[in-house]
Amino acid sequence: MIFLVDFLSAVVNGISMGAIYGLIALGLTLIFGIMRIINFAHGALLMLSMMVGYWIWKFSGVNPYLMIIVVAPIMFCFGYFVQRVFIKPVLDAQKDVREPIAVLLLTAALAIVFENLALMVFGADYVMAKTTVTDATIALGGITVSAARFYALILALVIAYAFYLFLQHTELGRRLRACGQDRNTALLMGIDGPKTFAIAFGIGTALLTVAAIVLLPFYYVHPTVGNVFMTKAFIVVVLGGLGSVPGALLGGIIIGLIESIGAQYMTATLTTVVVYLVFLLILFVKPSGLFGSRLEW
Amino acid sequence: MLLFRGRYTKLVGLILVATMMMSFVVGCGGGSESGSDKVETIKIGNILPLSGSAAPLGKIGQQARDMAVEEINAAGGIKSMGGAKIEMIYADSKGDPATGVSEAERLITHEQVALITGCYQSGVAMPSTEVAERYGVPYFVPVPSEDQITERGFKYVFRLAEKTSWRNRDQVKFIKEMSEKFGTPVKTVALIYENTSWGQGAVRAWEKYIPEAGLEIVLKEPYPSNSSDLTPVVLKCKNLNPDIIMLVSYVSDAALLTNTFAEHQVKPIAFIGTSGGFADPQYFELTGDNCEYYFDISTWEPDVNRPFSAETNKKFTEKYGYAMNAEAVKAYVAMYIIADALERAGSTDPEALRKAFAETKITEGPTQMYASEIVFDETGQMVNAPLVICQMRKVDGKMQRVTVWPEEEARPGFEVVWPYPGVGQ
């Protein structure tokens, strides 16, 4: 019986961590799905969101989850700005290229700039938002779950579902999907391409903010914190299928579960190997990922 | 009168000439005397990471040395060498072994230093000591703790720091003493460590000392220090319910582990850290009260009950705006040991200096803040380098490292809290 409780604790922890991975991957998969841009600045943007969130919390002391209302619009504007000022000129110059490599390098450069700016402005200290939810736990029939992680899970599910509805049922969502399916045809149908792209990048960054805010109460903030989640986000996106919302969430949860349950039977360093093995297996069986298909959008 | 005048004139002339000659000779004598008295300087090369990620650690080492050198020079320098002053020549290793080697080479051949000291990282100390050994120049190692440094049969290398494995040895000794003192039988130990050479080195030492003490290792769990989540490791450890949990961690992972242990209310008899992240000031910021009653091992604590400790730390704090740490204390004390060796050698000849280091026996003075006796064995290793164990305790509403072991060096008025009472108890 004790065995079962331990196992369930690992499962719950795996699902909640996985939902956060999924949330981080959501922005990445959106930007990829719409613009065909592999965004290497994703981790750095996560770090910036966490930094902004941390300092707002530090000076205002508001409930950490309420900060989403403030930080998400800030980061939406920031994402919009990054797309307009940095990415668009390069994208325009490579308009006829199916997979714009220069943009990929540009995002990698942006990541380096953001990380070092953060290092200059905030310093290399590790900080953590010790909020009211930080050390709280919730008892679910014998299983102790960290409150912060539990809220993260709920928020991730709600946000992912809301985002899915937004893509499926709103005018803007349809425009975004149209651009993702065939950029040139969408432009011919009268969609304002550059504006849609900028909005997509802004939304991707705002989604990332939600992930950043749910991480704040139990994870440290540091200029290189993005790297911890970056590789995982890429695996999740490819595993779930490029550009798929349910795929990102499910992919994240699969990886979270492997890490959490795997570590009960082997060393934590070995679970990384298992994650990559499962990743390879799924790619062998279904190269487009779990939910991957060209017309998913 | 005239007759006399002539005579006197001659005499006065003679006296005048003699006086002039005298004053000339005396003047010359004075001049040559101050020439031989001209204060010479003894150049000491010091390799430190002054740029790169370890730069703050290099800086505090430099400040500690500067303070010691100022004091030594102000007290008359090296008296056996006519009051010669010590001059520090700092070289930046950037924390990189290759740069450390070329800087050691430069210090010896170009700057012609009497000896080299430094250099914070074991990784830099290993190859740069080889250079000094090859040239036959003494190399004094205050901080790096890698066992190997004094186990290679080198003649010119002397080390002040403890060996890494001694920390692990003393942790086990501490566990045995406490379990007897408090009557809490200890049987099982879990080892949780970051997965680089540092953590693996600690595990090798534990695997030797823990079974020797009759304890059983029930879990050996390595983890990558940049993990996104350490809950799985904590859950696994909780299931096994070990008596003691030993940890080797950097800052961020030390904090994550501490917070996650608190969340899942893991309650062994003791948590014991191995310096590193646990000794970092940021650790308190990141964990808050969750780290209360954790143990950590080091060589010096600000509150340690040793002569000169409080005064020197106070002076340092007033001078530089922050307190010393164990590494700064080693750097500071090292300069006094070097001065003592120079004093006894009476010259900068490498052979004489090497002999002086080997014959070191200091039992008084500022080096007391580190150890009551400074003696090196035939390998150049400081014998009985002191280790203290502190416990994270709340003093006046703020977390502090309180020295609790060994008892004679403990902060007066504090008792060890053993076994671990749980979070917020």
Q: Are strands B139-141 and B115-118 parallel, antiparallel or unpaired?
A: parallel
ipTM summary value: 0.85
pLDDT at A215 over 60: yes
| d(C-alpha B405, C-alpha B178), whole Å | 10
The CATH classification of domain B165-298+387-409, taken from the options 3.40.50.170, 3.10.20.30, 2.120.10.80, 3.40.50.2300: 3.40.50.2300
Would residue B308 be called left, alpha or beta, if left means φ above 0 and alpha means ψ between -120 and 50 degrees?
left
Q: Given pLDDT bands bounded at 50, 70 and 90, which one contains residue B37?
A: very low
pLDDT tens track for A158-205: 999 999 999 999 999 999 888 888 878 888 888 888 888 899 999 999
Q: Which strand (E) or helix (H) includes residue B298?
A: strand B295-298
Evaluate whether B115 touches B44 at the Cβ level (below 8 Å). Answer: yes
3-state secondary structure B63-75: HHHHHHHHHHHHC
pLDDT tens track for B290-307: 999 999 999 999 888 899
Would residue B384 be called left, alpha or beta, if left means φ above 0 and alpha means ψ between -120 and 50 degrees?
left
- d(CA A220, nearest CA chain B) in Å: 7
Q: Is A43 on the interface with B (CB under 8 A)?
A: no
How many inter-chain contacts (A to B, CB under 8 Å) are there? 98
| Residue B260 pLDDT | 92
Average pLDDT over residues B60-74: 95
Average pLDDT over residues B38-55: 84
Evaluate whether A223 touches A48 at the Cβ level (below 8 Å). Answer: no
Cβ neighbourhood burial of B117 (10 Å; 0-12, 13-18, 19+) = buried
Q: Considering only B12-21, B245-254, B302-311, which range has the smallest mean pLDDT?
A: B12-21
- d(CA B291, nearest CA chain A) in Å: 12
CATH of domain B41-162+306-375: 3.40.50.2300
Which residue is it, tokens 């390799």?
B47
Evaluate whether A228 touches A212 at the Cβ level (below 8 Å). Answer: no
pLDDT tens track for A232-251: 999 999 898 888 889 999 99
- Angle between helix B350-358 and helix B326-345 axes, rounded to 10 deg: 120
| d(C-alpha B303, C-alpha B390), whole Å | 10
Q: Is A219 on the interface with B (CB under 8 A)?
A: yes
Cβ neighbourhood burial of A11 (10 Å; 0-12, 13-18, 19+) = middle
Select the residue from A143, A222, A269 to test the B interface by mutation, using most B Cβ atoms within 10 A. A269
Average pLDDT over residues B299-326: 91
- Chain B residues with CB under 8 Å of A269 CB are 195, 222-224
Q: Considering only A85-99, B32-46, B182-196, B315-329, which range has the smallest mean pLDDT?
A: B32-46
- Chain B residues with CB under 8 Å of A137 CB are 263-265
| d(C-alpha B284, C-alpha B107), whole Å | 40
Q: Which strand (E) or helix (H) includes residue B375?
A: strand B374-375
| Four-point Cα dihedral A287, A290, A293, A296, nearest 10 | -160
Q: What are phi and psi of A96, to 5 degrees?
A: -90, 0
Select the residue from B59, B200, B225, B229 to test the A interface by mutation, using most A Cβ atoms within 10 A. B229
| Residue B28 pLDDT | 45
- d(CA A4, nearest CA chain B) in Å: 11
- Chain A residues with CB under 8 Å of B265 CB are 137, 144
| Radius of gyration in angstroms for the set of CA atoms belonging to chain B, rounded to a whole number | 28
pLDDT tens track for A252-262: 999 999 999 99
Q: Is B229 on the interface with A (CB under 8 A)?
A: yes
Strands in chain A per DSSP E: 137-140, 143-146
pLDDT at B322 over 80: yes
| d(C-alpha B100, C-alpha B91), whole Å | 8
- Angle between helix A245-265 and helix B231-240 axes, rounded to 10 deg: 30
Q: Among partner residues A125, A232, A264, which is closest to B236 by beta-carbon distance? A: A264
- Chain A residues with CB under 8 Å of B226 CB are 227-228
pTM (predicted TM-score): 0.80
Q: Given pLDDT bands bounded at 50, 70 and 90, which one contains residue B25?
A: very low
Q: Given pLDDT bands bounded at 50, 70 and 90, which one contains residue B39?
A: low
pLDDT at B139 over 60: yes
| Three-state DSSP class for residue B405 | strand
Q: Is B195 on the interface with A (CB under 8 A)?
A: yes
Which residue is it, tokens 């790169």?
B52
Q: Given pLDDT bands bounded at 50, 70 and 90, which one contains residue B360?
A: very high
| Residue B276 pLDDT | 82
Q: Considering only A35-49, A90-104, A153-167, B355-369, which range has the smallest mean pLDDT?
A: A90-104
| Residue B282 pLDDT | 83
Evaluate whether B263 touches A137 at the Cβ level (below 8 Å). Answer: yes
Q: Are strands B270-273 and B361-362 parallel, antiparallel or unpaired?
A: unpaired
- Going from the C-alpha of A145 to that of each of A139, A242, B191, the distances in angstroms are 6, 31, 24
Domain with CATH 3.40.50.2300 in chain B: 41-162+306-375, 165-298+387-409
Residues with Cβ within 8 Å of A10's Cβ and at least 6 positions away in sequence, in order, are: A260, A261, A263, A264, B232, B235
Share of chain B above pLDDT 70, in %: 90
| Residue A287 pLDDT | 84
CA angle centred on A178, ends A176 and A179, rounded to 5°: 65
pLDDT at B248 over 80: yes
- Check CB contact under 8 Å for B223 and A219: no
pLDDT tens track for A38-66: 899 999 999 999 999 999 998 988 888 88
Average pLDDT over residues B275-281: 84
**Structure tokens belonging to residue B376:** 């090196």
| Residue A63 pLDDT | 84
Evaluate whether A260 touches B232 at the Cβ level (below 8 Å). Answer: yes
Nearest residue of B to residue A7 by CA position? B235
Q: Is B264 on the interface with A (CB under 8 A)?
A: yes
Q: Given pLDDT bands bounded at 50, 70 and 90, which one contains residue B56?
A: confident
Average pLDDT over residues B222-231: 88
pLDDT at B417 over 60: yes
- Chain B residues with CB under 8 Å of A228 CB are 226-228
| d(C-alpha B226, C-alpha B386), whole Å | 32
Q: What are phi and psi of A221, to 5 degrees?
A: -110, 135
